[in-house]
Amino acid sequence: MIVESLQKDKHQRLSFSSGKDSPDRFLHENAHQAAAKGLSKTYVAVGEAAETVIFGYYTVTTTHIVVGELPDAIARKLKLPKHELPASLIARLAVSENVKGRGVGSLLLMDAMRRCALVASEVGGVAIVVDALEEPTVPFYERVGFRRFELGSLRMFIPMATVQEMLGISNVHRQVG
């Protein structure tokens, strides 16, 4: 399986179906334009044999959170200032109905987290945020360490430091040259 940037002329985005209307419509109608306008970037998982068939995708962009949104214990632990804080957003993540339950979603989630952590190591970012589409999807994110912003909320986060530690990505700036 390969994860690569969505390419309009290569990937068969119209035949992708996750069984959920909102993520399917975004891939069919908006993902390419959103990337062209600099609003977000979409990455697709394709098989190595037929690289045109999309097994799943995720869309990432930047967002901000305010420290008051975070659970008190986390905000205290991270010692964050009380203004808007930069964060990455996994705006969408969906897997084709044909390959659900075979690890594609997990692979895409880890790839998205790695990409966000690498970006944060260069430009900053305190957390990764995700909006779980519906309540049954919450455990899919909880199993890798995401937590709800508040009880009952579908908006979830994981501290960037946790992700960087988990994936062995250094937050120390490299020397240029």
Ligand X SMILES: CC(C)(COP(=O)(O)OP(=O)(O)OC[C@H]1O[C@@H](n2cnc3c(N)ncnc32)[C@H](O)[C@@H]1OP(=O)(O)O)[C@@H](O)C(=O)NCCC(=O)NCCS
Summarize as ranges the residues that interact with ligand X (CB under 6 A): 18, 20, 23, 92-95, 100-106, 132-133, 136-137, 139-140
Residue among 13 and 67 whose Cβ is closer to ligand X: 13
Radius of gyration of the chain (CA): 17
Residue number of the CB atom closest to ligand X: 105
In angstroms, give the least distance from the CB of 97 to ligand X. Answer: 8
Entry field: residues in the chain: 177
Residue among 94 and 116 whose Cβ is closer to ligand X: 94
For residue 84, the Cα-to-chain-centroid distance in whole angstroms is 20
In angstroms, give the least distance from the CB of 10 to ligand X. Answer: 21
Instruction: Detail the DSSP E strand segments found in 6-135.
Output: 41-46, 54-66, 84-95, 127-131
Residue among 77 and 143 whose Cβ is closer to ligand X: 143
In angstroms, give the least distance from the CB of 91 to ligand X. Answer: 8
- What is the distance between the alpha carbons of residues 56 and 73, in angstroms, rounded to a whole number? 35
In angstroms, give the least distance from the CB of 121 to ligand X. Answer: 24
Q: Say if CB 88 and CB 119 are below 8 A apart.
A: yes
Record the tokens describing residue 34, joined without a space. 């959103």
